Structure formats: C-alpha cells, structure tokens
Structure 1
Amino acid sequence: MFYKRLLALAISLAMQTAHASEDNDYIIEPLAKPSSQSVHLTLDPNKDTFSGISRIELSVLEATHYIEINGLDYAIELAKLIGNTECDLSNTMLKTGKVRLHCDQQLQPGKYTLTINFDAPYNQQSVGLYKTIDQGKAYLFTQFEMSDARRAFPVFDEPQYKIPFQLTITAPNAQKVYANTPLIKAQKNKTNTTHFFDVTPPIPSYLVAMAVGPFEEKAITGMPIPGKVITPQGKLALADYAIDNMPKVLKVLEDYFGIPYVYKKLDSVAVPEFPFGAMENSGLVTYREDILLVDPNNATSRQKQTNVSVIAHELAHQWYGNLVTMKWWNDLWLNEAFASWMAAKVTQQLNPEFNSHLDLPQNYVMALDAQLSTKPIRKPIKTEADIMDGLGLAYSKGSAVLSMIENWIGADAFQKGMRAYMKKYAFKNAEAADLWRELSLASNKDVASVLSSFVEQSSFPLISVTKSGKMLTLSQQRFANAGVEAPKQLWNVPVTIKYGKGDKVASTQMLLNKESQRVQLDFEPQWIYPDKGALGYYRWMLEERQFNTLLKHAKSALSDRERLALLSAADALLDAGKINAGQLMAALEQFASDQHPRVASNAIRLLRAQKSTFKTKQNEEFWPGFIRRSIQPAIAQYGLTSKPQEIPAISSLRAIVIALQGFDGKDQSIITTAQQQTALYLTDSTKVDPYLAGTFLKLAAYHGDVDLLKAYQNAFETTKEPQTRTHLLAALSYFGSKTLQSKVLDYALTDKVTPSDLRIIFSGQGYTESRKKHFRTWIYENYPALSKKMPPFMLPTLPSYTGNGCEIHDLKTTQAFFKEKVSAVPGYQRSLEKVSESVHTCIALKRRELESVNKFLARF
C-alpha cells in the first residue's frame, strides 16, 4: 500500500490522486470536522445493554442541511447541534456504517457542539464494546480497530480524524474501570461510581479503549510512567513474566526512536475473549490472555518468545501508529509491517536465546503472494473486508521488505530516517511516502522506487543467476506458479550475493532494476548463494549444476537462516515448475538430519506437506514408511524423550517427530503414550512436557471416546490457566469419529466457546478427508447460526474452510453455496477467487508431479 514515488512532485500528485480515487460511500462526507470529543457511558457488565452521551466539538465546513458521522447498532434518542444555529437533528443509519444527521434549516459554516444521547446492546461477536463471561463473572472489553468504535458510541470513526477524547464511565461500585488515561477523580453514590478520566492526546477513534469488571491488578515497576498488568480474577499470578519484560522492551524502543513514550500510563489487560493477538490502544494495551499470561516454569521457548515479541509489537505501535497515525486504512499494512519488523529486532536484542532471527516472515506468505488473485499490500480500501483481505500478508511481506531495505541502506541510515519521521509528524497523520522521503534523505538512496515496486505490485521477482567465470548474469521475471500466465512486471531489487571457493567467502551487493544485469565477482566462485542473510523478498534460481553444488556446500558454507531460506526457495521452485517433486523431496531429505534442529524441522515439515498434495489411493501404502524414514535421523540424534539442558529447538523438533509418528506413522506406542500423558495432563498440566502437551492432547483426542470429550470440555470450562485452555480448545478439534466431531462442532456454537475462539476449534477439523468432508457439510447446515456468531471480520474467510484442497467437486459446491451470499458479505467474492485459484493450482501441480512422486516413493 505504499505510494509510488520517483520524484517528490510526482509523489505528491500521485498521493492526491490515489486518495481521491478512494472516496466512496463508506467514507464520511467532509461536511464537518471534529476537534475533540467527550463520551459518558453508563456500563454494567451484568446487563445486556448500555447507554451514553456523546459530545463532539466540531466545525461545519460548508453550508449544508446534514452532516455525517459513523454508527452501527446503537439507537439515537436525541441528537442536537448547538452553535451559530441550534437544531434538533433527525437521523438515518445507513448500511455503510454511517449516520446522516439532518437539520431542516441550513447549517452555516462555523463551530458547533453535537450532543447525542443513545442506547446500545453489548456486542456478542468480540468487536466494539463487548461482553464476555469468564469463570462465571461478566466483563466488558473493547476492540475498535478496524472500524468498530462506531458500535460503541457516535464518532467520526476514521483514522484521519485524530482528536483528544475524554471518557467518563459510570459503573456499579463493585466494578473496576480502566481507560486510555489516568483516573482524575471518582464520584460514588450508594450503587454506582462515576469515573472521570484524563483527556487523551490526539488519537484516532480506533485507539480508544476501556475495560470494566471485577479485575485484579499488579503494578509494573521500572518504567518512566506508571503501569500495571490487569487480569480477570484468579490469573494475576501469571503476570510476572510480562511485568519483567515490559520495562526492558519499552527502554529499547525509547532508545531506538529517540523520543520518550508520550502517554501518561501504560496498562496491559489480559482478555479471555479476544479476536486478535493484541491491540495497541494508547495507554491501555489489550492482549489475548494466553499471550500476556505466561508461566515461565511450564512454558515453551516459543510461548515466551511470543510474549516478548507481541509486547514489543504493540509497544512499537505507541510510536508508529499512535504517535504518528496513517491518514487512511490503505497504509495499515505499514503500521503492522513496521511493528512486526521492530518486534523482531527488539526480541533478538533482548532474548537472543529464542533464535527469533530464524523466523523468516517471507517464507510464510510468498506462496499466497504469488497467486494472481492476491492484491498488492497497498491497495484501495472501501470496506472492512478490504482491510482484512491479505492483512496477514501485509504483516509478513511488509516486515520482510523493510528488513531488505534496512540491509540495503544500512541500519544507521534507517534509524536516522525513522527518527526524523517521528519528530516531524508527532501527534499528526502521515502517509507512507512521508516515511520514504525521510529514509531517502537519510541514506541518499532512492528508497521510494524500491518500496513502491514491492508494495504497489503483488507477487515478487524470480531472479535467475547464471555464471561465466567471474561474471554473473542476473535476470528477473515475475514469480508465478507453473502454467499460469502472469503479467510482466519489473522490480527494483536490492540483491546481495554470497559466494565462495575453498576457504574464501565474499559477497557483493547490487540494485537489480532491469530485466537483466551483469556483475563481476572478485574471483570465480565454486558456489553461489543469491540472497546473503536471507533478507531479500524474492525467489532465486541457479543452473542445475550450480544448485547441486550449493546443496553440497550448504551445511558448511551457509548460516542457519540461509539454509532455512534455501529449503523454502527449493519448495517454491517446485510450484514454479522449475524442478520436479522427486528432486525437491531428495533435496529435503538431505536437511532432515541438519545440525540445527530448526532447519531439520522445516525440512521434515516440507516433506510431510508433500503427502497432503500427492497422497492417492494408489500410493497411500508408501507414505507411512516414507514419513518414518524421513524422521529417523532426528530420532537417532535427539531421541523421543527430553534431556536436561537441551536447547528449545530440539524440544520443538521432537514434538514434530512425535506428531508424525502418531498421526502419519500410526505408531501405537506413541498413541498409548499420548493417552497416558493426556490423563496426567488433565490431573496436573505442569507434569507433562510443555513442548509435547499439545501433541499428546490431539493424538489422544483423535483416538478418544465420548468420556474423554467430556473430560476435555470440563477442563476447558474450569481451568484458569490460559495456555491450558488454548491447548484443550485446539485438541477438541481433533476428535476422530463422525459422532464426536459433530458434538465438538455443535459445542462450538454454544456460549462455552467465544466467537474469537472459533478459529482454534476449527483448526484440526480438516485432518483426514472424511473429517474435512463432514466439517464442510456442518458449515453448510449451520450457516445461519455460524454467520451470526463469527466476528464480522472473520466471516469472509468461511469459503476457505469448505473449498480448500485439490478437489474440484468441493470447489464447485463452495462456489454454489456462497455465490448467493456475496451481496450480503462483500468479502466472500475475494475469498472465492482465492479458493478457486488455490484449488486449480493444487490440481495442476498434482497432475504434473504425481508420477515423479510415485517414482521417488517406489525407491524404498
């Protein structure tokens, strides 16, 4: 979603044109502009509705009979405008999320106060101001991003309207109340307390937040401002890990930006029902409780890393996103990309033992990005479905591209540009091009031309490298799956080439901005690796002889990160039709015994993934043996039980091996162990290896009976430990028989499972073709109830649950079912396009490569 920019003047004009083209019925007509807002809400978690009064100081910008604000779900009792003219306003709530307020007499330009009295229900889909029950107690939370503040109160709910907010909340005396700012005073009567909160600095409406309930809290020390961790009852003992990490993360960020944290407090709330990982509300950050609350004595390294990384992500937003805010949602990708990029940097600095540098975000999304149906990460935005479409791609592609840029211009120049940008636009709105301008000035390089080529285009380049002595020729074309006619594209690509011969290793950097360019090396290399540090957002291809030579030298010449990227690149070459499946599987086997467990893990995962695509009735007997052989080196090297002081990567690899032995290898001894360990876990979860607990619970569930299902449900409903709850929820999705699967799916529609938890309880429903088929049928039969329960932003993803795979019949059924619903849920059309392309790509790959796979399997 970057603005294309080659020259400053051209960029300015392009930005104006782009923004104008995005005007649509979902955007408030610019007839009025707010300057500040106060909101007084009367909230009681034990009721189902609430009421409020909203006062907005605004300027009417031109003579008009109406103005527009945003609104969903609430009912207006009174709307009055006082200023040059006093008018009782009538209101019309539009389907586009706007409210039109009409005055019979013409309003003249000038300053006014808009007062609206309203009533509303608490939301039941984990958005807006919503109510949730935890351990029998009611709580209220908010989630306003992307466009759900309008569900809680009348507001100009667009990021460009960045204004001070003042919240006043009246709640029963027994309830604790929190907001973005410190409490100024409280007035108490016999039943209720009115809490007056300080005025916020200018913030967009999506960052306003509040929480009401019988919470517990614990202060965070060591920060320059006050802060606390806030939890539902009975969970405060799990807050210490986050309390220890918060000041460290904040200090690193303050040092990086060169600007102190600007808000008056920093509270963190553990939320039992939450549709995302976390939300960066200024001064009151909310987190899924299983992320914020960690027992360090019984947590995996990945769980600890997630805690640090997500805290770093949300606190990075306090500068990038909160202090400086996008003008419109087309730059949301940059908010999230920068926070993800910064979180990786902070996590690696504070906790190098997590090996977070081995998390390569590009590897998770490039297959999606290559599809013709995928939009650029900077694209026009009209509806919330447009915002959510490809948001995960925006996080990962965006952060990977930023890493590539930092590597190209240098870390010092990148930081210098970022600091200048923050100081220039503090408390204001800005656009992507404003950042590119500062990065270009700091580095004296044309940053904008590189960034625009990656964010305003979908997909990425495939760079072919050929060698002639010391001379390399690099050619680029759009990466596309085999057989796909993709449009021609050109990128400006920073490429860093690593090469070596004997003990000599060198590198060279170039900007590939033509279809083909040449570069001369210092010596004729024996091997070439076209992406030093695995920091490029591109795929690469060598001549077959050179590729085989690189494979031979990979374990000694390439870093762990580079070997991980090599595996992913090889897998991509199969999709592109540049190698066959047998060649890929042979290459992957070499790395299943890699000296680094993370590399071995990825090799094994990629080998297992081939089964999902290529398993048929004719070859199914070969797969269990092949899977067992592929994991044998890891078993021989690391064993099936943990050892004292082993590194976390080994423990994580063991979990993959045991899952494959149990599920794919059908190893009865593993299944029996899983059943025994599950019984122990249900008694005392701390006595089971945390790295294996999730795997054991899923295996036991798959082979379990109705009594085990009831035991899971009881433990899920009564546990106070968030990670245990998440493990059980995921395991519930694996119950194997059709009868038990139906019971689990019906359980998902009860109030025991929150709307935000649906994605977890759906996660294992596609394991085995028969279970996948039953899940599809259940979705069709229960669509009315399911569509009412799912969070609105999640609903457009539903076709991906029914149409995925390699079967044309399933695709056609999905298309027929959802076609008539596209007008009601605009996001369905985009999902159907993606599902269709994915299925046809899978079918073509299977048709093209099945013979190669069968020949490979027949060798054993």
Structure 2
Amino acid sequence: MFLKSLLTVSVALAVSSAHANEYVIEKLAKPSSQQVELTLDPAKDNFSGHTEIALEVLKATNYIELNGIDYAVSMAKILGAENCDLSAEMLKTGKVKFACEEKIQPGKYTLKVDFTAPYNRQSVGLYKTLDQGTPYLFTQFEMSDARRAFPVFDEPSYKIPFQLTITAPTSQKVYANTPVLKTKVDGDMTTHFFDKTPPIPSYLVAMAVGPFEELEIKGMPIPGRVLTPQGKIHLADYAKENMPRVLKALEDYFGIPYVYKKLDSVAVPEFPFGAMENAGLVTYREDILLVDLATATRSKKERNVSIIAHELAHQWYGNLVTMKWWNDLWLNEAFASWMAAKITAQINPEFESHLDLPQNHVMALDARLSTKPIRKPIKTEADIMDGLGLAYSKGSAVLSMVENWIGEEAFQQGIRAYLKKFSYKNAEAADLWQALGEASNKDVASVLKSFIEQSSFPLIKVTQDGKKINISQSRFVNAGVDAPAQLWNVPVAIKYGAGDKVKTASVLLNKETQQLTLDFEPEWIYPDQGAMGYYRWVLNDAQFNALLENAADKLTVRERLALLSAVDSLLDAGVISAAHLMQTLEAFVSDAHPLVANTALGYLASQKRVFEDDSNRDLWPKFIRNSIAPAAKQYGLTAKAGEDAAVSQLRAQVIARLGFDGHDQKVIDTAKAQAALYLNNPENVDPYLASTYLNLAAYHGDAKLLEKYKQTFKTTKDPQVRTKMLAAMGYFGKPELQNAVLEYSLTDNVTASDMRTLLGGLGYGKEREALFIEWIYNNYDAITKNLPPFFVPNLPFFTTASCDAKSLEKTKTFFNDKITEVPGYARSLSKLEESINDCIALKNRELNSVNSFLKR
C-alpha cells in the first residue's frame, strides 16, 4: 500500500500481547480455504453473498469466531462429523461469534454462511462510487476491511487460497485477483467463475465491477491490462510502458519470477490511499496511474513509476511472504518504499529520485516524546494507522543505511534467501534480520532493532584534535525537553578533506563515545557521507563554518540537501539561533543545483509559518521577495526551452512564495490570466506552474471563478485536472466563498477520499484558518460521516491553529468528550499537545532573533 499523501518489545512479546486482546480472533478454528459467491450490481445499494470455509476446529467449543462488520447473516451452519445450525452475534470489536447449542468437537468442517450487506460509501471494504454519474464497485480491504464484504478470518496469519464467484449484470465487467475460468449467462445477469488464488491473506483479496475500458499490457511474462473508468483509457499509455520495465527489474533483483497468473492495474476514481498491492489486481488512485503526457511534469511521471514499483515490490514482499501480525506492517511498507526508490533510480535516472531523502520528511516527528517506535504492539486499526507515514519513511531510510553499511551484494543475497525460505508463508522482522546477518557476517539485528524498536534517533557530535576525531551519540531532543537516555548501534560514515584530498572513515558506533584516527588532518568534516545516515549531527562553530565554505565544491547534491535539513533541525534542538539558520539558508538559495535552492527557500518559508505575528507581519513580504530574488533573477519567471525539470520545480516555489507570501501583484495578475487559460485548455499553461496559478487565482478570485472551478471539477475526464481543481477550491479567500467551498465538500460531488485533498488549502491564512476550524466544530457529525473511518482520528490536527495555546485547549475540550467513540483521538491529542508546546517554546525563545534578522 502507498500512503498519499499514507511498531517496542521483543517479537514474541509483541505478537503474544497482540493476540491476547479482544480484537483478535480466538484460536478455536483454523481455515484452510474459502469460497466466496457474491451477487453485485453497482446500480443498487446492497449486495448478497454466500461463503463456504473449509476449516479445522482445534478444540471442543460451543462457538467459533470470525470477523465481520455491517453484514447481516441469514443462514449459518457448520457441516462435518457433526452438523449444527449456528447463531451469529456481531461484536463491537469487529468479530462475529458463530455459536452452536452443542459442543463442536475437534476435526475438519465446512462453515457455510449466507449474508447481505450495504455497499460502503466511505472508500473502505466493498464500496460504491460514482464517476461521471456512472456507478462502479471497488474494494479496499487493508488494514481490516475485508470483514465488511463477507465473513472471513481477517488477520494476516490466516493465509489461505480464496476462490471468488461473482454474479453481476451482463452489461458490467467483473475482475478479481485471478483469471476467469468460465462465465455463465442467465438472462441479464452473468456469473463469473474465477480461478483459485495461491495462499494469500484476506486483505489482499480484491474485485472491481463496472463498465471499464481495457488496455492490454504486452512484454510481461503473464497477461496484464490497465483498467479505467469510461473515457479515460487514452491516459493509460505511460503506465502500460512502465509495467513491464518495473516488473522485469524486480524479477531480476529478487531472483524469483512473478508468481501470480495475471497482473491487472485498476485506475480508481475514489481511493483513500495512493495504491494497494492486491495480488494480481493492483488498485491505484487514478491521478497516479493515469498520465496525460502532454501536461505531465517530471514529478508526476516519477510518482507513476515509483508507486508502480512500490506496489509490484509488494507482490514479493508482503504478498508472497506475509507478516504474521500487523506489528510488522511497517516492514512491508518500508521495504516496498526502499525497493521502489532503488528501481526508480535504476530505470529512470533522469528523474534524480536519489535526491529524495525520506528521513528529512519525518525526523522532526520522530524526535517527539509522543511518537512511538515503528515496530510496536498492535490491537486496533487506529494502532496500525498511528505513525504509518513515519514507518514508510523512517523504515526505508534505515534499510538504506543498513544496505550502505553491509553492501548492496550482501543485502540482495539476504533478501533472496529470506524470500525463498518463507515463500507462501508468514514471517516476522527477526527472520529478515537473520537472513541479512547471515549474508553479511555483520550484526545487522542489533542495528535494526535499535532504530526500529526505539523512537527518535541519535545526535552525533564530532570533535577534532588533529588527525583524531571523537564521535559521541546522545538522543536527539527538542530544546528544553527532558527525555530518557537512549543508545543506538549506528553505522557512521565521516567524509573529510584537505585541499584536493577527500576520504571517508566508517565506524559502527555502538557505545556513547568512540575515537577514530584519520589518514590526514582534515580542513573540513561532514559527518554523514552520502547522506545515508538516520541521525543528526553537530559540529563546533569553527568546524561548521569550514564545512559551509567547502559545501559547494566538496559535497554532493544529496549531501547538501541533507546538510540543509540537519541545520534546520539544530534550531529545534536549541543548538543554533533562528537568525543563524536563516542566514545559512539564504546562502543556499543561490546553490548551483536548483533543487538545493528550492529546498532552502522551502525552509525559509517555513520560518514564516512559525514566527509570523503582529510584531513582524509587515516585514515578511519584503524578506520573502529579497530571499527569492537571486533564484528569480537566475532562472526567470517563465520557462525556457529545454530547461531541467528541477529548474521548473524551483520556479513554481518562487512564484508561490512571491504570490502568497510576497504579495507581488504582478504575479497575482499573471496567475489570474493563466488560470483562465487553464480552464479553457490545460495544455496552454506550463504544467509545473498550473497548480500554483490555480491556487493563487482562487485566493484572489470571485464567485464566478468558483463556479468555473466546480464545473471543471465535475465534468473533466482527466484525473490530474480534477485533482488540481479540487485542491485549488480549498484556497478561495473571501469568507463567503470559503464557506461555499466548505458546504460543497459535504455534497455528493465530493467523495470521502476527495475530501482530504480539498482540506489542504482551507487553513491557509490566519482568518481563513479560524473560519475553517469553526466550521469543523459546527459540522462535526457530517464531516465524520464523509471521511474514511481511518482518517477521522486526524481531525484534531485541523482544529488547532499553529503555535496557539488557546486553540489547543479548545481542541482538547471538544475531542476529549469523543474519545470513547473514537479512541484514536487520545493519541492525536497527545501528539498535538507536544507539537504545539514545542512550537510555542521555540517562538518564545527565538522571536527576538528572527525580528532582528528581518530588520537588518
């Protein structure tokens, strides 16, 4: 699975504690295979089904447990040496208790159940959506939503063959994980008999029903198609080209052929995540899978390749070998993210995807005391979703660090051995650690456990005495925070140089302090060679200044990007002042690589979000304009033929900052004109600037423009255009228009998955943020019904203004009363309170420093 936007005890204890809770199926029976028959009509609101599960009763019992939510049981019986009609009690824990008046003795049985259920309308389970007024059916079963579609042992350790039979109107096309064996037409209904799957967990079962269009994919060892809603198949060519390339690269890496009988890829108009790795029937948000090459940016193309690689990597890691329990979901997703980065860089080096450093996106979150380790005990879906985005990025960064430490060849050997040993089975993190350790003859387990089973990360301090350097570690914490001491086993790589000489020294730092003797006395030191470490570092002022003087010539682009992130984090830690940070960032705005300049501008803009208040509000526009001036002068505000995509991306940042933060009227006028051109024909506008122009035009737009945005949103068949219009509507600036957009978000035109995209711009600006927050309070019930259930616990983050203690208290008062109905709120409020308090402390500590800098 890929999140969009998207675990700390020993293995044995984590699993046993998870299986000792009321949300887990009691171990009374074990399935060996399951047949599911469904009658599905997208035009209706409900469906019916029948299932037969071959199972073994493990001990004498009056009942067995399965999972279930929302369906109603009309018949249930167990057949074997003894037969029994069963009653069904649906529990609040997501389980169903099927009970018999007599004891069911141990042995092999068949459980038969007839049931009915509504189609879900919140993007989970077996759900219905409308596209251009036409109904379609899709599934999203991860984490625990197969239980909404049919009775099932809905836990990853129950890995069995499934066989689906689906009856649907003859006018509809029907797809599942496997090829169709035969069809049977009966009047206006057709029954589709699908082949049996290999053993898979229930969360990988999938189906789709609707009047789809198909595009055959050639060049793969198995059949495959891209499937789209009507009128969109012309946008599938780019995915069609990439599927065979990605699949071959993965087969070559793993040394195991793709094991499923087909590979269909479905473009889904309503989808809560980025994509889902269902065996043989992979689903994607349509704006990821479908690409209009006439208007596609490099980042859109990279996203297409990367997410395809992520989902196909899962076909081996996750599908062929599956976690035993959800406490290792982090590893599924971390591995797929790591693999996707490797494959994308291999087959499309022009994307420069090696310059995306996942650790930079999450280390600020990981440093907080309220953040849990990414491998942790799991009971509920809220536990799974808590920190899942962190798991993707931290996990993949740590895997990269370990691969860099033990070597690519040893890492690949370990992965291959692991996959062969556990094919069609379940495994856990320790099994992979062992395979990597055996392949490399290094203590991989100690390194991985120290990063995965602890939250936060080390702060590496490097001091120099001639050729000798001392390397010490401590837990990274924000200034003023008292945190328990921790130690890690850290592969540290020190890059150093003098004159034209540049070398690297490596050490496994497994205690508080270690010493290294270098080959020569360095003039400068960079404590993260290759930017592969999941740690922060600090140097004294003289060392840091020497590093800055040599950064442009001696550090790679990737290392300079990591340097910016590291320096930004030192402000949080209280090591440097805000003025010192901003001065450093300004120096990198003129970097030779536009991505470095772009990143520096982004960090500068983030300081405005933290420190802007009445004492300096009038100073920021001029500061932003002055900061952007070098990049604007060097690259211009309009595209040049043949320029690098990184330049185009930088220009979008420049124009956004000039328009939103710099209040540049010329840029605003240009945005209005360009938005009008885009609404007429998206190909008329620079694709790198389209979103920025649309957002700026909306912010300064009127009611007529809002109606044009709505109309384009409703009628376009281009998913990219649709997403851009949806996001831009969130930026309308006038209160009456913002209210109109908020009301529109609760209509049937905006799906559960759409709503999160729309929310993105609604909190921009202090007054707009206040209006948005009040709207959430006043419309809480309607909003929670319109969001995917797993997203609801995030609502407190939308009702709290940045760095605002009063806003935090109001949020806590409102949501504390609702923790019983949404337990995930407790976790969100804890995280939110720490975040706001850290922000307030930072602002109190550094506001004078910022104001002095702005008044230079």
TM-score range, shorter chain: over 0.9
Are 2:850 and 1:846 equivalent residues in the alignment?
A: no
CA contact (8 A) 1:54 1:117 kept: yes
CA distance in 2, matches of 1:772, 1:3: 37
Q: Pick from 310, 313, 317 the counterpart of residue 314 of structure 2.
A: 317
CA distance in 2, matches of 1:435, 1:853: 48
Q: Render the CA deviation track for 1:242-270: whole Å, top value 9, x for unaligned.
A: 00000000000000000000000000000
CA distance in 2, matches of 1:803, 1:819: 14
Residues 242-253 of structure 1: pairs in structure 2 closer than 5 A: 242-253=239-250
- Structure 1: which 4+ aligned runs deviate by more than 4 Å? none
Residues 357-506 of structure 1: pairs in structure 2 closer than 5 A: 357-506=354-503
Residues 773-784 of structure 1: pairs in structure 2 closer than 5 A: 773-784=770-781
What is residue 281 of structure 1 aligned with on the other side?
278
What is residue 789 of structure 1 aligned with on the other side?
786
What is residue 748 of structure 2 aligned with on the other side?
751
What is residue 562 of structure 1 aligned with on the other side?
559
What is residue 685 of structure 1 aligned with on the other side?
682
CA distance in 2, matches of 1:21, 1:318: 29
Are 2:675 and 1:648 equivalent residues in the alignment?
A: no
CA distance in 2, matches of 1:842, 1:427: 48
Deviation at 1:3, TM superposition (A): 7.8
Distance 1:3 1:483, change over 3 A: closer
What is residue 7 of structure 1 aligned with on the other side?
none
CA distance in 2, matches of 1:21, 1:41: 36
What is residue 633 of structure 1 aligned with on the other side?
630
Q: Residue 467 of structure 1: SS of its match in structure 2? A: strand
What is residue 119 of structure 1 aligned with on the other side?
116
Are 2:17 and 1:21 equivalent residues in the alignment?
A: yes
CA distance in 1, matches of 2:58, 2:29: 5
Are 2:323 and 1:345 equivalent residues in the alignment?
A: no
Q: Render the CA deviation track for 1:346-371: whole Å, top value 9, x for unaligned.
A: 00001111110010000000000000
What is residue 75 of structure 1 aligned with on the other side?
72
CA distance in 1, matches of 2:53, 2:372: 37
Deviation at 1:30, TM superposition (A): 0.4
What is residue 624 of structure 1 aligned with on the other side?
621
What is residue 58 of structure 1 aligned with on the other side?
55
TM-score of the superposed pair, with normalisation by structure 2: 0.99
Residues 778-857 of structure 1: pairs in structure 2 closer than 5 A: 778-857=775-854
Q: Residue 211 of structure 1: SS of its match in structure 2? A: strand
In the alignment of these two chains, the number of paired residues is 849
* Letter matched to residue 675 of structure 1: K
CA contact (8 A) 2:769 2:801 kept: no
Deviation at 1:803, TM superposition (A): 1.8
Residues 171-186 of structure 1: pairs in structure 2 closer than 5 A: 171-186=168-183
CA contact (8 A) 2:76 2:114 kept: yes
CA contact (8 A) 1:804 1:835 kept: no
* Letter matched to residue 20 of structure 1: S
Q: Pick from 220, 223, 233 the counterpart of residue 223 of structure 1.
A: 220
CA distance in 2, matches of 1:495, 1:854: 37
Q: Pick from 728, 744, 762 the counterpart of residue 765 of structure 1.
A: 762
Q: Residue 691 of structure 1: SS of its match in structure 2? A: coil
CA distance in 1, matches of 2:510, 2:161: 45
CA distance in 2, matches of 1:16, 1:645: 57
* Letter matched to residue 187 of structure 1: K
CA distance in 2, matches of 1:472, 1:747: 61
Q: Residue 689 of structure 2: SS of its match in structure 1? A: helix
CA contact (8 A) 2:491 2:509 kept: yes
* Letter matched to residue 246 of structure 2: V
CA distance in 1, matches of 2:735, 2:294: 38
Q: Residue 577 of structure 1: SS of its match in structure 2? A: coil
* Letter matched to residue 181 of structure 1: T
Q: Pick from 297, 300, 306 the counterpart of residue 300 of structure 1.
A: 297
Q: Render the CA deviation track for 1:754-796: whole Å, top value 9, x for unaligned.
A: 1011111000111101111111100000001111111011000
Are 2:544 and 1:544 equivalent residues in the alignment?
A: no
Q: Render the CA deviation track for 1:81-117: whole Å, top value 9, x for unaligned.
A: 0012100001110000000010000000000000000
CA contact (8 A) 2:8 2:376 kept: no
* Letter matched to residue 216 of structure 1: E
What is residue 232 of structure 1 aligned with on the other side?
229
CA contact (8 A) 2:49 2:150 kept: yes
Q: Residue 451 of structure 1: SS of its match in structure 2? A: helix
What is residue 601 of structure 2 aligned with on the other side?
604
Q: Pick from 76, 80, 87 the counterpart of residue 90 of structure 1.
A: 87
Q: Render the CA deviation track for 1:501-560: whole Å, top value 9, x for unaligned.
A: 000000011000101111110000000000000000000000111001101110001000
* Letter matched to residue 299 of structure 1: A
TM-score of the superposed pair, with normalisation by structure 1: 0.98
CA distance in 1, matches of 2:654, 2:484: 41
CA distance in 1, matches of 2:507, 2:661: 45
Deviation at 1:292, TM superposition (A): 0.2
What is residue 108 of structure 1 aligned with on the other side?
105
CA contact (8 A) 2:496 2:503 kept: yes
CA contact (8 A) 2:76 2:85 kept: yes
CA distance in 2, matches of 1:707, 1:386: 45
Q: Render the CA deviation track for 1:368-425: whole Å, top value 9, x for unaligned.
A: 0000000000000000000000000000000000000000000000000000000000
Deviation at 1:804, TM superposition (A): 4.4
* Letter matched to residue 679 of structure 2: L
Q: Render the CA deviation track for 1:399-458: whole Å, top value 9, x for unaligned.
A: 000000000000000000000000000000000000000000000000000000000000
* Letter matched to residue 17 of structure 2: S
Q: Pick from 531, 538, 544 the counterpart of residue 534 of structure 1.
A: 531
CA contact (8 A) 1:698 1:734 kept: yes
CA distance in 1, matches of 2:641, 2:404: 38
Are 2:591 and 1:594 equivalent residues in the alignment?
A: yes
CA distance in 2, matches of 1:777, 1:737: 16
Are 2:206 and 1:214 equivalent residues in the alignment?
A: no
Are 2:193 and 1:196 equivalent residues in the alignment?
A: yes
CA distance in 1, matches of 2:763, 2:171: 45
Q: Render the CA deviation track for 1:284-334: whole Å, top value 9, x for unaligned.
A: 000000000001221000000000000000000000000000000000000
Q: Residue 163 of structure 1: SS of its match in structure 2? A: coil
* Letter matched to residue 258 of structure 1: G
Q: Residue 546 of structure 1: SS of its match in structure 2? A: helix
Q: Residue 764 of structure 1: SS of its match in structure 2? A: coil
Q: Render the CA deviation track for 1:601-620: whole Å, top value 9, x for unaligned.
A: 00000001100111111111
CA distance in 1, matches of 2:579, 2:771: 33
CA distance in 2, matches of 1:588, 1:41: 59
Are 2:525 and 1:508 equivalent residues in the alignment?
A: no
Q: Render the CA deviation track for 1:560-617: whole Å, top value 9, x for unaligned.
A: 0000000000000000000000000000000001000000000000001100111111
Residues 705-716 of structure 1: pairs in structure 2 closer than 5 A: 705-716=702-713
What is residue 3 of structure 2 aligned with on the other side?
none
Give the alignment's Cα RMSD to 1 decimal: 0.7
Deviation at 1:16, TM superposition (A): 2.6
* Letter matched to residue 627 of structure 2: S
CA contact (8 A) 2:8 2:373 kept: no
CA distance in 1, matches of 2:475, 2:128: 48
What is residue 10 of structure 1 aligned with on the other side?
none
What is residue 38 of structure 2 aligned with on the other side?
41
Gaps of 5+ in 2: 1-6
CA distance in 1, matches of 2:720, 2:573: 39
CA contact (8 A) 1:327 1:431 kept: yes
CA contact (8 A) 2:14 2:376 kept: no
CA distance in 1, matches of 2:696, 2:614: 24
